[in-house]
Structure formats: structure tokens, C-alpha cells
Amino acid sequence: MARLKVGVLVSGRGSNLQALLDSAADPAFPAEIALVLSNVPGAFALERATKAGVATAMVDNKAYDGRAPFEEAVHETLTAHGVEFVCLAGFMRLLTDGFVNRWHDRLINIHPSLLPSFKGAHAHRDALAAGVRLSGCTVHYVRPAMDSGPILVQAAVPVLGNDDESALGARVLEQEHRIYPLALRLIAEGRARVENEQVIIEGPGATGALVNPAP
Ligand code: GRF
């Protein structure tokens, strides 16, 4: 069966991109990374793509007069590479409704919290400030409102007594690298679909529970 052609939008270090590249390196994985597009010149993610033999593109938002023409260039670049599905992986530009609606149900994001808690750029700081005992990460379909949309996969981790943002962030990031490829696999295998703004997933769910502190 043909593999789903995926474009990954990045702005920075690209560790989630790396997880996707590593999974897609297996020919049995149902998706291939057809293009990595950065809006930031010199983003380390671009090096990761090149090393993996994947095509890259630079669309520098600073070179455009406003979001709409920038996004038009992004859209054109994606379609020129035959991209069918888009993953945001540390892409640090908010997307307009126009772009999001054009890629409706073909656009997903990863966020480092258990959404709908702690949206925005300071998820770990906000989780620590709230004193939650569990945090985690979420892969979700993108809707126009920031960090919202039907939830595909979540992973939970404990928040520990001496955590700071970087310790919690590292624990969550490890799980991001597990669930982003999992979410993409579910989609590419046709096992996930959106109905009434909720994701239906075919096959078994998880068992067990994560309790913190340990009972
Ligand atoms: C990740 O924490 C992701 O959840 C958030 O931005 C960060 C990107 O990290 N959206 P990386 O570039 O994938 O390493």
C-alpha cells in the first residue's frame, strides 16, 4: 500500500521531527516524510532532515508581508512536494484560520501538556505552578484556536517533588517522541477518524493507570 506523504513544519531543534524520521526510516511504517519545511533559517531540524535524506525547504516568514502570503508560500511548497498530511513539530508560528481550514483533518500538532490544560508556550511552568501531580503530552488535530482540536493520543508522566521546568520537560519530551509516531501511524493506517470533533480509534485502548504518588 502507498505510504502517506507527510510534510513536517519545524522552527527549531527538531527532536520530534527526529522521532518521526526514525519511525519512517522503517519501510513498514505507513507514512513517509516527503518534506521538512522550516520558517527559521539554520534551524537544527533542517540538518536532521538532510542527514535522513529527506527534502527540505526554507520559507522565512520574515521575507513575507504578513501571515497570509507566508502561509500561501508554505501551502504551495507543501503541495509542490506532493504532501498529503502535515505534522507541526515545534513550529513556532500561529497559523491563520485560512491555512488551518485548508488542511482540515490533515494537520496535527504535538503539545507538551495534557490538553486542554496548559495551552500556550509555557506548559511546564504552568503545570508546575498549578501543582498537578501528572502532566504529559498530547497529539491533536489542529483547529483555528491555539492548542485546540480533537485529541488523538496522550501520554501522562508524574510530576515529582523536586521538578523544575527542565526536569519535567525532559520527562515529557521522552514521551512526545513515543506518541507522535504512534499518532501518525494510527492516521496513516486509517485507524483514527474524527467524528463530531472527537477522535475514534479502532483497536484496543490502554490498560492500567498511572498514580502519583505511588499507592
Ligand atoms: C516540543 O516540546 C513540542 O511539544 C512543542 O515544541 C517542542 C518542540 O521540540 N510543540 P522539538 O523541536 O521537537 O525538539
Quote the pTM value: 0.97
Residue at 66 is within a domain: yes
Is 140 noted as a catalytic residue in this protein? no
- At 137 the pLDDT is 98
The Cα–Cα gap between 63 and 183 comes to 33
- Residue 74 in domain: yes
The answer to whether residue 173 sits within a structural domain is yes
Query: Does 125 score more than 90 pLDDT?
Result: yes
DSSP-derived pairing of the beta strands 134-141 and 151-158: antiparallel
| pLDDT digit string, tens, across residues 40-59 | 999 999 999 999 999 999 99
Residue with cell 497529539: 139
How far apart are the CA of 65 and the centre of ligand 1, in A? 26
Give mean pLDDT, residues 11-28: 98
Percent of the chain surpassing pLDDT 70:
100
Q: Which of 75, 81, 111, 122 is catalytic?
A: 111
pLDDT class for 1, splitting at 50, 70, 90? confident
Residue 203 lies in a domain: no
pLDDT exceeds cutoff 90 at 207: no
Q: Residue 61 falls within a domain, yes or no?
A: yes
Residue 171 counted as domain residue: yes
CA distance 37 to 206: 33
**Domain span holding position 88:** 4-191
* Ligand 1 centroid from CA 16, angstroms: 6
10 lies in some domain: yes
Q: State how many domains the chain has.
A: 1
Given a cut of 90, whether residue 23 has pLDDT beyond it is: yes
Residue 131, SS3 per DSSP? coil
CA distances in angstroms from 111 to 179, 198, 215, listed in the order given: 11, 17, 29
- The residues lining ligand 1, judged by C-beta closer than 6 Å to any ligand atom, are 12-17, 89-90, 110-112, 173, 176
Q: CA–CA separation, 79 vs 99, rounded Å?
A: 13
- CA angle 181/17/170 to nearest 5° reads 85
Nearest CA to 188 out of 4, 21, 2 is that of 4
Q: Which of 8, 9, 15, 146 to mutate to test the pocket of ligand 1 (most atoms within 8 A of CB)?
A: 15
Looking up residue 110, the CATH number of its domain turns out to be 3.40.50.170
Take atom 10 of ligand 1 and give the residue whose Cα is closest. 90
Concatenated DSSP letters of 75-109: HHHHHHTT--EEEESS--SPPPHHHHHHTTTSEEE
- Burial (0-12, 13-18, 19+ Cβ within 10 Å), 49: buried
Rounded to the nearest angstrom, the distance between the alpha carbon of 17 and the centre of ligand 1 is: 9
| Ligand 1 atom at minimum distance from 19 CA | 13
Average pLDDT value over all residues in the chain: 97
Enclosing H/E stretch for 50: helix 44-51
